[in-house]
Chain A
Amino acid sequence: MEPFYDAFDKIAGISGKAGNLRGQIQEGGNPFEGSRSNEYPTGPMRQPYGPTLFAKAAKDLGYKPFPVPSALISEPYTNPLGVTMGPCTFCGFCTNYGCANYSKASAITTILPALIRKSNFTARTNSEVIKINLDSTGKRATGVVFIDSSGEEWEQPADLVIVAAFTFENVRLMLLSGVGTPYDPNTNVGTTGRNYAYQTANGVQLFFDDKNFNPFIGAGAVGMGIDEFNNDNFDHSGLGFFGGGSTRVTPIGAAPISSRPTPPGTPKWGSDWKKETVKNYLSTMSIGCEASSYSTRTNYLSLDPTYTDRLGRPLLRVTFDFSENDRKMAAYVTGKVAEIAKAMGPRQIVQNPSKGHWNTGPYQSSHIVGGFVMGADPTKSSVNKYLQTWDVPNLFVVGASAFPQNPGYNPTGTAAALAFKAADAIRNQYLKNPGPLVQA
């Protein structure tokens, strides 16, 4: 996989510091990182005050803090497609907005400018694919049906169909098009919708009296982290769970008005609330631990029996709850993070581990995975390691829908590396000899 991660890093201009360069552990990087062939394309971002304080405390406790690799770039960069990006200015309006500085990598900023110049490329905007067409054998995709903004339906014939519509829509399109057998949790048979997993979001808030973090300075992914409590990086014996998470301080920019950190017990309105807001806005920070969520037999995706979209097609139904394993893991890692928080000397800390049942209300994570997973066994997976569907060899389904479990990391680097791997297999193997790339 490494060459494909490397290819993606170069397209996106990922900023960071390598922790493992060709097998050699590098001072200042993440020592738990897999071996990389190259440094990150752009250097690590400069760190705001909160991450700096955290990194010092973590280091004093014997951990190995590193700058979080990020698709917000730290210096001017021109990617292999010739597209130029500028350095992030820590504007603080990252998470819910586009980037006016051309610093935040996405397919739109880093690939489309080069792609739209190709004479054989067409993008149909404001169009929605509603179905993958299969021939009478059900073993061959013949194209897709899409609907345009005036409501007209079109058929696009194709020799090769690649679906990359994000986790949920990938799975829904497969269910609606009859690709693979829908997963049945009662019999544990079927693959489409199987292995759906989420992520557990944990955190510790730190209230200080004597610090000013200027929290409006921020960027969507700037920060310092440690990886000692992630996945298999620590000894799980006797703990009664597996998994773990990425520990990080990433100040995304505390938006005025919406961001009002106050300690527990503060009224939710009125003059005391305002007083506490003024007292705490500048001097509060938090440490997050975004942690794993392992798939279970009872968590899955299916077509909703009741609710439909504007075209009368079933919506996707998510059947999910956190498992006992994940809740135990969440309590443990949050406790470890709290130890570092205490060492930083705040007036008060508040632990927020993921607990109780899953709830759609509070924002926890946008990292949803699985439902059309990659594997070696066609009875338990939907696609092979090249993201080619087992049943329909000229149909590839790309995205985090292919992840069979959710580890304690953000998904996009891996989703993109898998896309590069699939593209490489299509160009260098499939096109020369169309058919299954892995014999089941």
Chain B
Amino acid sequence: MRQSLLLAAGLFALSTTAAFAQAARDDSFEQIDKGRYLAILGDCAACHTVPGGKPFAGGVTLKTPFGDLVGANITPDPETGIGRMTLDEFQKVMSEGEGPGGFHLYGAMPFTAYTKVSKEDNAAIYAYLNSVEPVKNKVETNLLPFPFNIRLSLIGWNMLNFTKGEFKANPQKSEEWNRGAYIVEGLGHCGTCHTPKNIMGGDKNDQFLEGATLQDWFAPNITSDPHKGIGAWSVEDITAYLKTGANKYDMASGPMAEEVENSSQHWSDQDLKAVAVYLKDNRNAGAKAPAPIAATDARMVAGAAIYADRCSACHVSKGEGIPTLFPRLASAPLVNSDDPTSLIRVVLAGSKAGATHAAPTSPNMPSFAWNLNDKDVANVLTYVRNTWGNAAPAVDPTEVGNLRARLRDE
């Protein structure tokens, strides 16, 4: 999602103009166009282009549990952008998270994923970024409080959380599968949102893509786990979701809507299919569905009544939803996730689905913060999470209250 390419302007000043000579720039149309596509695949704009602002001029804030980081200016402006960066230096940023002059980048810039990007692809992205309009825009990327603002601490972080190395194809798998893996694990940096984090904010790699919470959104499990993940989705369902933002099960909203709008709707059909094939074949063994809470439980009874009054007009009495309009709640990965953050969020704040050329409707869900109290929200979600084949832990009203307070502050 939101990354941050931390390239403090002062450090550029240190690099000499002689550095330009280090790597020849291939600025043929093919190379730049390849880079343009790769920059879309990597959704660089998410962190480096403010909505409505000049492309790649930086300034998008990423809220991390440690503080704020801001996406850098990656236009070729020599003073405030990457105009003085050599290809070798760019390669090092992508593969090692190390900027010119040897300073370390925070993991919010997903170099832990980008390390898998091939040198050739990095060269194309570099050529593309050097072809965009240079914008003078000084961005202070590091807004972290002490002690996290000390970059030296990142050396230790990298030792614990970062495995350097280009993607290596798995010879046991098809070319298509490997292309999917290259995208998902590399430029697509899906794990940045979808892989649970350890206490330092590093990926728990043994739980790759099993779902994680970021900025008060829960990015669900996108492994092929049949209960909490997208195991029920076919390859076509996955590609439809990534291409249009909607399929017969679900619709992208929140940060995923931005991803679809800025990135995956523009992916080639081959890449979409490769990603779907890879995701379908990606599941950690051992994840078991819990037993649902009994329908007679007081919370379930209260929740059922609220659901009938407030939710069933759109999501339909048995939670089937309306394809590409109102998301399905029955057997939905997000609904069955252990973490109910996104569910609480959309009930309290409402939500607007993303819009693409193929699915332009962009329907709204209204906010229920004004007519459902914390207990009501918890009960209706507990009901939804344990009916029509769903099963997930009950929602605690305190959790609803906490998120309500945070959303109010936002």
A residues within 8 Å of B by Cβ?
A: 76, 78, 81-87, 89, 91, 100-102, 113-114, 117
Contact = CB atoms under 8 A, between A and B. Distances in A.
Interface string B350-376: 000001011111110010000000000
B325 interface: yes
B324 interface: yes
Contact of B360 (A81, A85, A89, A102): A81
B313 A100 contact: yes
Given A86-B325, A101-B314, A117-B355, 18 more contacts: A76-B322, A76-B323, A76-B325, A78-B324, A81-B360, A82-B358, A82-B361, A83-B360, A83-B361, A84-B323, A84-B361, A86-B314, A86-B322, A102-B363, A113-B355, A113-B360, A113-B361, A113-B362
Chain A interface main SS type: loop
B363 to A, nearest CB: 6
A101 B358 contact: no
B366 A84 contact: no
Given A86-B326, A113-B355, A91 B360 contact: no
Interface string B308-343: 000001100000001111100000000000000000
Contacts of A114: 360
Nearest to B357: A117
Nearest to B312: A89
Contacts of B357: 82, 117
Given A78-B324, A87-B322, A101 B360 contact: no
Contacts of A85: 325
Interface of B: 313-314, 322-326, 355, 357-363, 366
Most chain A beta-carbon neighbours within 10 Å: one of B322, B324, B358, B359: B322
Nearest to B359: A82
Contacts of B359: 82, 84
Given A100-B313, A100-B366, A101-B314, A117 B360 contact: yes
Contacts, number: 43
B363 A91 contact: no
Nearest to B246: A84
Contacts of A81: 360
Contacts of A113: 355, 360-362
Contacts of A82: 357-361
Most chain A beta-carbon neighbours within 10 Å: one of B314, B325, B355: B325
A82 B324 CA distance: 10
A272 B64 CA distance: 67
A76 B361 CA distance: 13
19 contacts: A76-B322, A76-B323, A78-B324, A82-B357, A82-B359, A82-B360, A84-B325, A85-B325, A86-B314, A86-B325, A91-B313, A100-B314, A100-B366, A101-B313, A102-B325, A102-B363, A113-B355, A113-B360, A114-B360
A87 B313 CA distance: 9
Contact of A102 (B355, B358, B361): B361
Contacts of A89: 313
A234 B22 CA distance: 91
Contacts of A86: 314, 322, 325-326
A350 to B, nearest CB: 35
Contacts of B314: 86, 100-101
Contacts of B324: 78, 84
Contacts of A102: 325, 361, 363
B308 to A, nearest CB: 12
Contacts of A91: 313
Contacts of B366: 100
